[in-house]
Structure 1
């Protein structure tokens, strides 16, 4: 599985972009939320990716923020929602805004996103309402997890261990010391949680 790519952006034409990673050109499909923040062609970029095997081949999706990739994956767990609709959601709204719409049960606003009808919007609200708080809180915490950022990496790791985004962020910030690595922050946070 391909989890992330770092390389030179050599082509972008929504919804497609091509990233050169050591001479290999990876073609990715990305939501407009990612396209808005991409650097100019010829510049280096870091993308979180989602690899999908389909009946007619494989697809690779790219996201600038981990929170977007997480929402993309969560959306596809909703009955009747595939990659195309998940990309439309991310192209039409931010992760935080989507989480607020789901928490509020705003079916009318959700149906204004292309490809989402009333029944799909209702399923999204029912199936994602419990996760909406995590989506909204995780957007800030997960976007901090850029390479070389020990605190952000620790927060993301704590979330992967099952801690809620807000709790993971609180634990990591409390445990972090000057010059600590991500591993050190995680170890201290977990030791503190056991006391």
Structure 2
């Protein structure tokens, strides 16, 4: 089973990356937060891998940080959440904010994440509330040094993702504020990509 992959980025698009290692190209699905941190084609990348083996396929899911992979593994331990949905959830909310929602029993906050309905949110809280001690806790709607209270929860998650990637808080806030007037602010991926483009 593949647990770690080091190789060269061949190409990346649509939330997937092809990593060349030992003459083999591995197609890896990654959440938006990891996707945004991937190097350019031709450069080396290191990914922590979760391997899903089924009767007719092998699927790889990759993460730039151990924390993201740990959060992913907790999510897919919940009944009804498979790897594809786990990646979708992590693309829609930063790990710290996810942990805050789960510990706080915030069903409404979780249902703002694409792919999570009320019943799924209730299951996540019930099954994971006491299993997150080794994951970081954050504030879902406000970030230190920003005026994130002017943003929706989804917009605050985009802001958090930008700051986690190393963008200065003030610059990230300005980028999100500008981007939400240019794209559908209810679409995390579109808002994140436009904000990332503006903050650079």
Aligned to 2:52: 52
Question: How far off its partner does 1:133 sit?
Answer: 2.8
| Deviations 1:55-74 (CA, angstroms, capped at 9, x unpaired) | 43110111101111111111
Counterparts of 1:22 and 1:65 in 2: how far apart (Å)?
23
Mapped pair 1:19 → 2:19: yes
Aligned to 1:169: none
2:18 touches 2:27 (CA, 8 Å); kept in 1? yes
Q: Which has the larger radius of gyration?
A: 1
Counterparts of 1:94 and 1:111 in 2: how far apart (Å)?
14
Question: How far off its partner does 1:82 sit?
Answer: 0.9
More helix by share: 1
Unaligned runs of 5+ in 2: 138-200
1:135 aligned counterpart, secondary structure: coil
Question: How far off its partner does 1:79 sit?
Answer: 1.0
Superposed counterparts of 1:36-115, under 5 Å: 36-115=36-115
Aligned to 1:120: 120
Question: How far off its partner does 1:132 sit?
Answer: 2.4
Counterparts of 1:69 and 1:123 in 2: how far apart (Å)?
20
Question: How far off its partner does 1:91 sit?
Answer: 0.3
1:133 aligned counterpart, secondary structure: coil
Counterparts of 1:122 and 1:55 in 2: how far apart (Å)?
31
Cα pair distance change 1:108/1:3, threshold 3 Å: same
Deviation beyond 3 Å, 4+ runs, structure 1: none
Aligned to 2:30: 30
Aligned to 1:144: none
* Matched residues, number: 137
Counterparts of 1:55 and 1:77 in 2: how far apart (Å)?
20
Question: How far off its partner does 1:104 sit?
Answer: 0.7
2:50 touches 2:62 (CA, 8 Å); kept in 1? yes
Counterparts of 1:128 and 1:135 in 2: how far apart (Å)?
11
Question: How far off its partner does 1:53 sit?
Answer: 0.9
Counterparts of 2:55 and 2:134 in 1: how far apart (Å)?
32
Counterparts of 1:63 and 1:53 in 2: how far apart (Å)?
18
